[in-house]
Amino acid sequence: MILPLGFTILFYCITELAFLYGLKKHIITNKFKWKVLIWIDIILSLAFIITFSILFYQLRTAPHFISFTKMFYTLSYFMLFFIPKLNFSIFFIINQIIKYSLKFTLKKNFKFKFISLIGLFLSILIGIGILYAMLIGKNDFTVRNTEIVSNKLPKSFEGLKIVQLSDIHIGSFYYNTKALTEVVNKINDLNPDIVILTGDLVNNFTEEADGLDSIFNRINAPLGKLAVLGNHDFGDYTIWRTPETKSTNLDKIILHYKAMGFNLLRNESTYISNGKDSIIIAGVDNWGLPPFKQYGDFKKAIKNIKSGYYTIMLSHDPTHWNEEIKFSKKVDLTFSGHTHGMQIGIEKFGYRWSPVKYKYEQWAGLYQNKNSNLYVNRGLGCIGFLGRIGMPPEITVMVIKTK
């Protein structure tokens, strides 16, 4: 704990020194303006350090979603404060390396600040991007349409429309009922047959959803609303006073799912009927590779599924599909979430990239393995950084057609 903290402090100090010295050397030549900048920088740095310390103490002694959310907001504004400076510092250091290399080679003194100016320009763009992500991007609710074809789907289910939500992380909305109501209205305007929620209703605490059940209860889906639990629903990312407190928190979160009108599938399956025909939807508790816990029991969930039925699986973490589900002949389509697309990425002109791809092989969109399909939702809410850029919050529309 002490060693990583020491490296973090050293890294921060080096960045600050490079940033301030770089500005003095190449950007701000007026001594008064530079001193004012130093004091502003010191005051803001101390404010962040004090705020982080207070919130960390609160989360250790009396954890509550308000403290968690405040920590996320503080982290987000710190990123706005620090990342552009880090970028400029890197470019300034590169500038100085090139400058002194040329000086040593050419045996001549000259001014060189071109790289620093590029760094300043990019830092301004980065700052604008982070601000956009926080103020606009996180509430840019985007409907993504996709469809698949199956010869197992009964004719009476032709054109079955499933709307998927995932990773609401409702505490990150901080009781923004206007935004949540907009989501529900968008869903109802899509006229779905089935609505599914693939986990992470909350960040950690049941209090996050208090008073918001009625909003999601307004979602209309004639063939049913179904859900599974995600890793955050189990409350593994905070310190609980007793095991019983953690268990009670989970019980209340489950009640929120039900009060919102969702049939919560916990390692089980259910039939969805349309006239004389039926399909099956199964769901498991969160199952992920370490360090994520494996609460889900796939074998139990599909135990009573008879062959021949078109079967949809809900599993929060897409690694579950990759490690276990896709090898089963019983499951035709799986819905997951969890990755958030890391809340930052590029998906333009046929090019798809996000840093999360280096951790998850299946991180967003539709994937196929023989007759098994997986769709990974990019999530609705945020965790940690309260912003999104290039990876807007998603409402998925999946239409399934018969051959």
Single-letter residue type at 287: W
- Nearest CA among 293, 292, 302, 236 for reference residue 268: 302
Q: What is the DSSP letter of 391?
A: S
Give residue-wise pLDDT tens across range 273-291.
998 899 999 999 999 998 8
Single-letter residue type at 353: W
Band of pLDDT at residue 24, cut at 50, 70 and 90: confident
Distance CA(362)–CA(374), nearest Å, equals 8
Q: Would you state the pLDDT for residue 2?
A: 56
Tell me which of 102-111, 188-197, 262-271, 335-344 is least confident: 102-111
Helix axes 65-106, 2-22, angle to 10 degrees: 50
Token pair in block for residue 246: 């953690």
Q: Do 149 and 391 meet the contact criterion of CB atoms below 8 Å apart?
A: no
- Facing residues of 270 across strands? 281
Band of pLDDT at residue 8, cut at 50, 70 and 90: confident
3-state SS, residue 321:
helix
Residues 6+ apart with CB under 8 A from 153: 160, 279, 310, 400, 401, 402
- Nearest CA among 41, 51, 54, 55 for reference residue 12: 41
Over 90: is that where the pLDDT of 165 sits? Answer: yes
Distance CA(325)–CA(308), nearest Å, equals 17
- Residues of the chain with pLDDT > 90, as a percent, come to 77
Over 90: is that where the pLDDT of 25 sits? Answer: no
Average pLDDT over residues 157-170: 97
Triad 383, 384, 385: Cα angle to 5°: 100
Band of pLDDT at residue 33, cut at 50, 70 and 90: confident
- Nearest CA among 25, 179, 171 for reference residue 96: 25
3-state SS, residue 158:
coil
**Class of the domain covering 140-402:** alpha beta
Q: Would you state the pLDDT for residue 3?
A: 56
Tell me where in the chain the CATH 3.60.21.10 domain(s) lie.
140-402
Would you mind telling me the total number of residues written for the chain in this entry? 403
Q: Report the Cα 322 to chain-centroid distance in Å.
A: 20
Q: Would you state the pLDDT for residue 328?
A: 92
Q: Do 97 and 27 meet the contact criterion of CB atoms below 8 Å apart?
A: no
Q: What rounded mean pLDDT belongs to the chain?
A: 93
Band of pLDDT at residue 105, cut at 50, 70 and 90: confident
Rg from Cα positions in the chain: 25
Tell me which of 24-33, 187-196, 337-346 is least confident: 24-33
Distance CA(165)–CA(377), nearest Å, equals 7
Token pair in block for residue 382: 């945020």
Give residue-wise pLDDT tens across range 208-260.
999 999 999 999 999 999 999 999 999 999 889 899 999 999 999 999 999 99
Tell me which of 333 and 65 has the higher pLDDT: 333
Average pLDDT over residues 75-103: 92
Band of pLDDT at residue 78, cut at 50, 70 and 90: very high
3-state SS, residue 39:
helix
Give residue-wise pLDDT tens across range 133-158.
999 999 999 999 999 999 999 999 99
Give residue-wise pLDDT tens across range 303-320.
989 888 999 999 999 999
- Nearest CA among 230, 228, 216, 224 for reference residue 383: 230
Q: Do 323 and 289 meet the contact criterion of CB atoms below 8 Å apart?
A: yes
Q: Do 277 and 156 meet the contact criterion of CB atoms below 8 Å apart?
A: yes
End-to-end C-alpha distance for the chain, whole angstroms: 58
Tell me which of 213 and 20 has the higher pLDDT: 213
